[in-house]
Each structure stands twice: as C-alpha cells, then as structure tokens.
Structure 1
Amino acid sequence: MWILWLIAVLCVIYYVIIVAYSGLSTSFSIIWLLLAACCILFGVGWDAYLKQKDKVPLWIPVSVVTICCTGILVFTIVEILVFTGVAVRDTSKLDYVIVLGARVKEDGISKSLKNRLDKAIDYLDENPGTILVLSGAKGEDEPVSEAEAMRDYLVFNGVKETQLILEARSYSTVENIAYSRVAIEEDQERKKVESQESPIMMDPGTYEEVPDKPIKIGVLTSDFHVFRAQQIARKWGIPDIYGISCKSDPVLFVHFCVRECVAILKDKLVGNM
C-alpha cells in the first residue's frame, strides 16, 4: 500500500531531522528507523498477500491488522491521557516545586531544560515564597550534574540560592521524585530545628497551638511529561501533587510524545505508577 511507503519515507526524514537538530542518534530516536522498516515490511507483505490471497491462511492478515490497530489504539489513549489527564488546578503559592532535569550539553543546557527553567523563573516571580528542588544527576556524557547546571542558570538570572535545593542523585523520573521527596523532608526537619532553636517569645495566654499546615508540592516539567511525573509522584508518596507544564521543543514534539508513550507503558508495567 502506498500509504505505508509514504509513512516509511516520512519516518526516515524525521529521523534525519531530529538527529541533525539535536544529536539524538544514540538514544530513542532509532525507533523512527524501526517504524520505517516495519512499514516497508508490512507493505511488502500486503502486496504478497494480495497476489497469493488464496494460499495465505486468513488468521495471518487478521492477526497482523489486529495487532496494528491495537497498537494505534493504545497510543491514542495514552496520548489523550497525557494531554487531558492533567486537571487544571490553582498552582500558586506552592511550598516546593520539583523541577525535573533534562540533558546538559558540553556547550550549555538543552532547549528542553531551558524551557523548564524559564518557566520556573516566571513562577518564582509570581510566587517568591516557593522553594525550587532542582533534580537531576550527572550523566556519563554530561559535564556537570543537571541540578548544578540548573542552579547556575537560575542564579545567573537573578534567583537567590536560598530558594534552591539541589538533588543530584537521580537518573530517572522515579528517582527524581523519590530523592526530591527526601530532600523536601530534610528541609522541613531543618526548619523545625531552627524554629525550636529560635523560639518566638510571647506572653502566656496570648497564643494557641494550631496544627501544622500540610505542605503543597508541585512538579515542573515539559508538557508531555507532566502526566507521568504526577502519576509517579502519587505512587511514591506525594499524593496531592500539582503539575506545572512548560512548552516543549516543536521540532522534537512528536518524538517526545512517542517516547513518553513507551515510558508510560513501561512504568505502568513495572509498578512505578
């Protein structure tokens, strides 16, 4: 079928574009070449089936079509969840916002990370009392940890270091959330100790004890990534997590959506969300 050949050509062209644009040739981008190969294989198989329809058992084409349709249906459902499953909530005046890291290059931060950090700066401008938890370790091909790179960028753009907590141990979204939660708990304990060491003196009978106010935590990441980050956070001890999304790179948007679909299915299967 000509449509399969057209899709195969588009997949190869898109692969070349994303590799030339961002240098992702060693990562998940290889999926586009695999998709192109699958389309070519299906196209050749379909032509062969039409020529020898009487010799091919009916269950073979039915199985192939069923598998393809199921895959398309699953992908569609996941993408609907990704972009409509995040409820619109008031994210103002959060106590902590976990900023998820992204690739750091030799010559600076990636566009995805810059978009997240610019969003974090805008958020702090409107909510100066919020603490940012910068989450991300140093990958093998990264000059510094993602947390350090984020701190340097934010400080350079006027954010006070006292508003930043670095979490530089995590290599995945699950670890981002888990270690950031620990960092927040440690910061809360530190603040409790400081408040006990410097009590506010008041006359007896002029105050009453009130229960501790529950802290409000958000997670800031790219638009396609918010759903998975929230689901992982709910699974790993932050049930009332607020999602804050930023725009993603338009050239890599389709690539990120496909990658995110695979990541969501994997995390669901292994129990991360």
Structure 2
Amino acid sequence: MLLYALALFFLLLTCVGVLRDRRRFGNAVCLGLAVTLLALALLATLHRADSAAAEAVLIVVVLTPALGSLVLAGLLIANGLKTVRKEGRSLGNLLALLCGLGILVVFALLLAATRADSEVLVVIARTVFLLACYLSFLFACFVGYAYLYGRLTPREDVDYVVVLGTGLLDGSRVPPLLASRLERGRRLYERQVARGRSPLMIVSGGKGSDEQLPESHAMADHLVEHGFPADRIIREDRSRTTEENLRFSHAIMAADDPDYRCVVVTNNFHAFRAAVFARREGVNGHVVGSPTAAYFWPSATIREFVAVLVTYRWANLAVGALLVVESLSF
C-alpha cells in the first residue's frame, strides 16, 4: 500500500505542477516517479499472488526492459546510420548511433562482470549500470512529458507569435526545418486574426559566423514572399542561442506591454526544452512545435535531452556522485 500511496502522491504533485506552470522539468520527474512507483507496486502485488499466471506475467514484465533495451539499441544504431547518410557527419547527427552503441556496451560490461572473476570489474559494471538506469529514467521522463506537453496546445489569445530561428542553408536561405516553424507560426497568426486579434510576429535569430545575413532577416523575407504582411513582423536579430532567442524576444515584448501574452514556435523535438528555457527567462507564453522528419527525431531528441541535463548539471552531478558512492559502498 505504501508504494501505491507514494505513486498517488507524486501524481498529485505532477497535477499541481502542471496547473502552476506546465513548463517545469520537475513535472516530468514527478510524473516519472509516479509511473515508476505504480509499476513497482503492481509488480509487488503480482509477486504476492500465488498463481502460475501471475508468475508468468511477472517474468514477462521483468524481461521486457532488457529485451526492449536491446531492440532500442538496434533501432538507434540503424537510425544513426541513416541520419549520418542524409545529414552528414557531426556530433549531433551521431548521437543516436552513439547511444545505441552505448547501450550495447553496458550490456557487454554486465555480461563480462558475471563471468569474470574480478571484483574491480564487478564494481565498474555496477556503477555504470546504476548511472545508466538514472539517465534512462530521466530520458523516459523527458520524452514522456515532452509528448504530453506537445499535446497541450495553448488556446488563449496572444499578442505575439514568436518563431525561433535555426541555421540557414548556404548562409542565406531558409532550410526546410525553419520553413516548418514559419509555416506553423503563420497558421497560429491567422488563427488569432480569425478570432479578431491582431498579433505581431517576432522572428528571432542573429547572424552566425558562417551566415551572410541574420536568420531573422531571412525568416522575415521568407514570410513576406509567402504573402505575410510585412508590417506585422518584428525582427530580433541579436540572438545566437535558444536562451538568447527567448531573452531578447521577451525584452521586446515586455518593453511594449509588460502584461503581454505570446506563443513561441519551434520544432516539436525542441518544444519542451524551449518551454523550460522560456520559463527561466520569464517569457509569458507556452511553446508549440512544428513537424519534423521522422528520421531526424531520435538524434534531435537526444540532443535536447543532453541540453536539459547540462541546464540542471549540478543536481545531476550530485545524484551521479551519490550513485557512485552507493555503488562503491556495497
């Protein structure tokens, strides 16, 4: 009963957190804890049940994560190879491949530890396994809550539609990824106009070292070429990162109206991290995502997760250190 009570407690914390501000990463962790505790409670109930069916279900449930991890490793490796072929070799594009190989390394290390007569190897395998479980838990929290956040489309009236920039093709042209964001932003703008509003569109992005013009200028030109009214566009052309996109756009909006409301547009894989940053920068609005090619999603999602880990690096380092100490003290 204690596990069920704890699961309900963390579920209530999740609901309260969502009502207060759905952009908090703490909501994802609380939801993950609620689901994990509920799963453990159900396993304990099955373990106490004296029946062959219950034992069979328990065995399947226990084996599923291991088998699922191996399948996931294969899918990540296959996706990583496809991404590299389509997008070229870069650390970001290699993330899915590296994660798939990392999962296999963890399994190989655990298998070696069970067969080798080495206490040092056992300690190393145990420590790596605990850290891998922690990162896997956080990743599951991130992906699960990001999916839920993406389903909670804001429906309130807004004063601004903010579109976050990304890199330009050949230093001057809007790539498909950015065009998808602009199209989603245009549709949100038209929806507001249909409701009798007259919001402004802020295109946000500065000039990179390999670009011929600021991203926001190329974004504005793209919108105008597709029939968007030029007098409803504001160009934020100083930012270089997502945090700066949001910080500088917030400054523009707050200077005009401290009580402004906005909606921020990015790609779906980037929406939740952008929402976390928007909350930290004081932006009064939620984030929505535009479609992304399916093959690009795994590497992009892993990259977003790593960025969130870095954002909360001190908390994660503290938990990691505790897990290492606990492993060494066995």
Structure 2: how far apart are the matches of 1:269 and 1:5?
A: 28
What code does the residue aligned with 1:140 have?
S
In the alignment, what sits opposite 2:11?
A: none
Given the superposition, is the C-alpha separation of residues 26 and 42 from structure 1 closer, same or farther in structure 2, using an over 3 Å criterion? Answer: same
1:96-124 deviation per Cα after TM superposition (whole angstroms, max 9, x unaligned): 11111122111732222111111112122
Q: Deviations over 1:187-208 (max 9, x none)?
A: x28xxxxxxxxxxxxxxxxxxx
1:231 paired with 2:231, answer: no
Q: Secondary structure at the match of 1:15?
A: helix
TM-score, scaled relative to structure 1: 0.77
Q: CA deviation at 1:138?
A: 1.9
- Counterpart of 1:249, as a letter, is A
Comparing 135-144 with 80-89, greater Cα deviation is found at 80-89
Aligned-partner residue type, residue 222 of structure 1: N
- The answer (yes or no) to whether the contact 1:104–1:144 under 8 Å persists in 2 is no
- Give secondary structure in 2 for the equivalent of 1:251: helix
Amino acid at match of 1:72: S
- Cα drift, residue 39 of structure 1: 4.1
Give the length in aligned residue pairs. Answer: 244
AA in 2 matched with 1:28: G
TM-superposition CA deviations, 1:203-244 (whole Å, max 9, x none):
xxxxxxxxxx93212211112222222222222222x31323
Contact 1:91 1:218 in 2 (8 A): no
After alignment, is 242-251 or 115-124 more displaced? 242-251
| Alpha-carbon offset, residue 182 of structure 1 | 1.9
**Aligned residue among 56, 71, 96 for 2:119:** 56
Is the Cα contact below 8 Å between 1:94 and 1:218 reproduced in 2?
yes
Shift of 1:143: 3.6
Change over 3 Å in CA distance of 1:237–1:216 after alignment to 2: same
1:108: which partner in 2? Answer: 173
Q: What residue in structure 1 maps to residue 143 of structure 2?
A: 79
CA distance in 2, matches of 1:226, 1:144: 25
Q: Could you tell me which residue of structure 1 aligns to residue 295 of structure 2?
A: 251
> 1:141-160 residue pairs with structure 2 within 5 A?
141-160=210-229
State the alpha-carbon separation in 2 of the partners of residues 126 and 4 from structure 1.
Answer: 42
- CA–CA distance in structure 1, aligned partners of residues 107 and 279 of structure 2: 43
TM, length-normalised to structure 2: 0.65
The equivalent of 1:16 in structure 2 is 81
Assess, with a 3 A threshold, how the Cα gap between structure 1 residues 172 and 47 changes in structure 2: closer, same or farther.
Answer: same
Tell me how far apart the structure 1 counterparts of residues 99 and 215 of structure 2 sit (CA, whole Å).
31
More off after superposition, 125-134 vs 225-234: 225-234
Distance (whole Å) between structure 2 residues aligned to residue 72 and residue 261 of structure 1: 11
Aligned 8 A contact 2:205 2:245 in 1? yes
Q: Distance in 1 between matches of 2:150 and 2:100?
A: 32
Give yes or no for contact 2:165–2:215 (8 Å, CA) kept in 1: yes
Relative to structure 1, the CA distance from residue 6 to residue 51 in structure 2 (aligned partners, 3 Å threshold; closer, same or farther) is same
What is the aligned partner in structure 1 of residue 320 from structure 2? none
Q: Structure 2 matches for 1:24-39, cutoff 5 A?
A: 25-39=89-103
Deviation at 1:246, TM superposition (A): 1.7
Which structure shows the higher helix fraction? 2
Inter-CA distance 69–111: structure 2 relative to 1 (3 Å threshold): same
5+ residue gaps, structure 2: 1-65, 316-330
Match for 2:236 among 167, 181, 185? 167
User: Aligned-pair RMSD on alpha carbons?
Assistant: 2.9
Tell me if structure 2 keeps the 8 A contact 1:82–1:225. no
* SS at 1:242 equivalent: strand
**TM-aligned CA deviation for residue 156 of structure 1:** 0.4
1:138-178 deviation digits (Å, cap 9, x = unpaired): 22333432111111110001011111000111111110011
Greater mean deviation of Cα atoms: 1-10 or 155-164: 1-10
Question: Is the CA contact (8 Å cut-off) linking 1:4 and 1:43 kept in structure 2?
Answer: no
